[in-house]
Amino acid sequence: MAFSLCPQDIGIILTYRCHGRCQHCLYNCGPHWPQETMSPATVRDVLKAVAIWPHCPQVHFTGGEPFLDFPLLLHAVELAAEFGIPRYVETSGSWCTGDELALSQFTELREAGLQAVLISCSPFHAERIPPVRTLRAVRTAIQVFGRERVMVYLPAFLGVIQRFEQERPTPLSVYEEELGPVEAQRVLWWGYGLIGGGRAGYCLGRLVARRPAEAFVHDTCANEILHAVHSHMDLYGHFISGFCGGLTVGEWRALPQLLADFQAGRYPDLVRVLIDEGPYGLYQLAWNEYAFRPRPEGYADKCHLCVDVRCHLAAAGEFLELRPLEFYKRC
C-alpha cells in the first residue's frame, strides 16, 4: 500500500505577501495580504516537523515572496542547513532592483548554506514584474550558485518575456493579441501547464474551452491529496497537500497525528469528499446544503470548479479545511 502524505518537496510559505498578485497564482498571493511572516520560532518548529519523515523531504522557502523579509529567509536557510535538510529558495526576482543588491543577497544566502535557487519566469509574472528584474535574478544566481544549481520555471519563457518591454511590466492582453487565441491557449495555458486553482480559473479560464460542472463528475482527488510529491506548510500552521491552495488537510504542528489519521483513512469532512468524489461531490454538497449554483460560463478544469465551490462554502459556513480565510476574501 502506498503511504499517504509522503511529499518529496515541501514549500515553506514564509508569507503570502508578494509584489505580484499574478493572475495564475494558486495561493491567491499578493500585496493585499496582511504584513505577516513566519516567526523565527515557527521556522524552527516547521523544520522540526519536516524532519520527522523517515526520508526527509527537501524544502523550498517560498511565499508569496520570501525575499520580502530577507533576514528571516537567511535565518530559515541557516536552520535548514543546521538540521541537514536539503534546501532551495523560490523567487520571482521582483526584489532584484539592482546588480549589487542581487549579488549581495544571493551571496549571503549561499554562505548561509542555500543549495539552489528556483526563479519563476512567465508572461503572468512579467505582467507584474519588469522582466529586467527576472533576468537579473537569473544572471546573478548563476554567477553565485553556478548554472546547475539555478532552475528557471519555465526556461522557455525567458525568450518570450524579452520580446516586450524590459523595464516595465507588459499586460497579458499584449501577449494574447500578439499570439492570437489558438496560440495563446497553447503557449499560455498548456505551455505553462496552468492549473485552474487559486485565481487562475477565474482570471485565465477564458484561454480554454470551459465546461459545465457535470463534466467533472468522474474526477476524484485521491492522488493530488494523498500522494502529492510536492506540498506546502504555511506560516499559520496549515498543511496544504499538492497545489490545492486554500485547502488545509490539517495542522502541521500535529503532523504525527495527521499522518496517523491519513494512514488510517480518517480525513476532515471536506477533504474526504474531495478524495472520494472530487470537486463534483463538493459541488453536490454545496448545492444541496448551501444553495450553491454554478457559473453559467462553466469551468476551465476541476480545480476551477473546486475553488468556486470552496469560495461559496467559506462564505456560507465555518469549515476548518478552508484556510487560510484570507484566501477566500477575494473570490
Site residues (vs ligand SF4, CB under 6 A): 18, 20-22, 25, 27, 29-30, 63-65, 92, 120, 125, 197, 221, 224-225, 242, 244, 247, 274, 279, 302-303, 306
**In terms of CB distance, is 57 or 66 closer to ligand SF4?**
66
**In terms of CB distance, is 197 or 237 closer to ligand SF4?**
197
**In terms of CB distance, is 180 or 330 closer to ligand SF4?**
330
* Residue reference for cell 519536516: 50
Least distance between ligand SF4 and beta carbon 17 (Å): 8
**Rounded to an integer, what distance in angstroms lies between the CA atom of residue 247 and that of residue 313?**
12
**In terms of CB distance, is 126 or 259 closer to ligand SF4?**
126
Name 193's bridge partners: none
Number of Cβ within 10 Å of residue 60's Cβ equals: 22
Least distance between ligand SF4 and beta carbon 107 (Å): 23
**Rounded to an integer, what distance in angstroms lies between the CA atom of residue 250 and that of residue 104?**
38
**H or E stretch covering 143:** helix 131-145
For the chain, the helix, strand and coil percentages under 3-state DSSP, each to the nearest 5: 50, 10, 40
Least distance between ligand SF4 and beta carbon 254 (Å): 21
Return phi, psi of residue 9, to 5°.
-145, 120
Least distance between ligand SF4 and beta carbon 199 (Å): 9
Least distance between ligand SF4 and beta carbon 116 (Å): 18
**In terms of CB distance, is 82 or 207 closer to ligand SF4?**
207
Least distance between ligand SF4 and beta carbon 301 (Å): 8
**Rounded to an integer, what distance in angstroms lies between the CA atom of residue 303 and that of residue 216?**
10
Return phi, psi of residue 306, to 5°.
-60, -50
**In terms of CB distance, is 84 or 212 closer to ligand SF4?**
212
Give Cβ neighbours of residue 97 (< 8 Å, ≥ 6 apart).
Answer: 133
**In terms of CB distance, is 87 or 232 closer to ligand SF4?**
232
Least distance between ligand SF4 and beta carbon 83 (Å): 25
Is residue 65 within 8 Å of residue 35, measured between CB atoms?
A: no
Name 58's bridge partners: 9
**Rounded to an integer, what distance in angstroms lies between the CA atom of residue 91 and that of residue 165?**
21
**In terms of CB distance, is 46 or 303 closer to ligand SF4?**
303
Least distance between ligand SF4 and beta carbon 48 (Å): 25
**Rounded to an integer, what distance in angstroms lies between the CA atom of residue 263 and that of residue 123?**
40
Helices (H) and strands (E) in the chain, counts: 13, 8
Q: What is the dihedral of CA 79, 84, 85, 87, to 10 degrees?
A: 70
**In terms of CB distance, is 57 or 93 closer to ligand SF4?**
93
Give Cβ neighbours of residue 285 (< 8 Å, ≥ 6 apart).
Answer: 273
Least distance between ligand SF4 and beta carbon 176 (Å): 18
**What's the N-to-C CA distance of the chain in angstroms?**
38
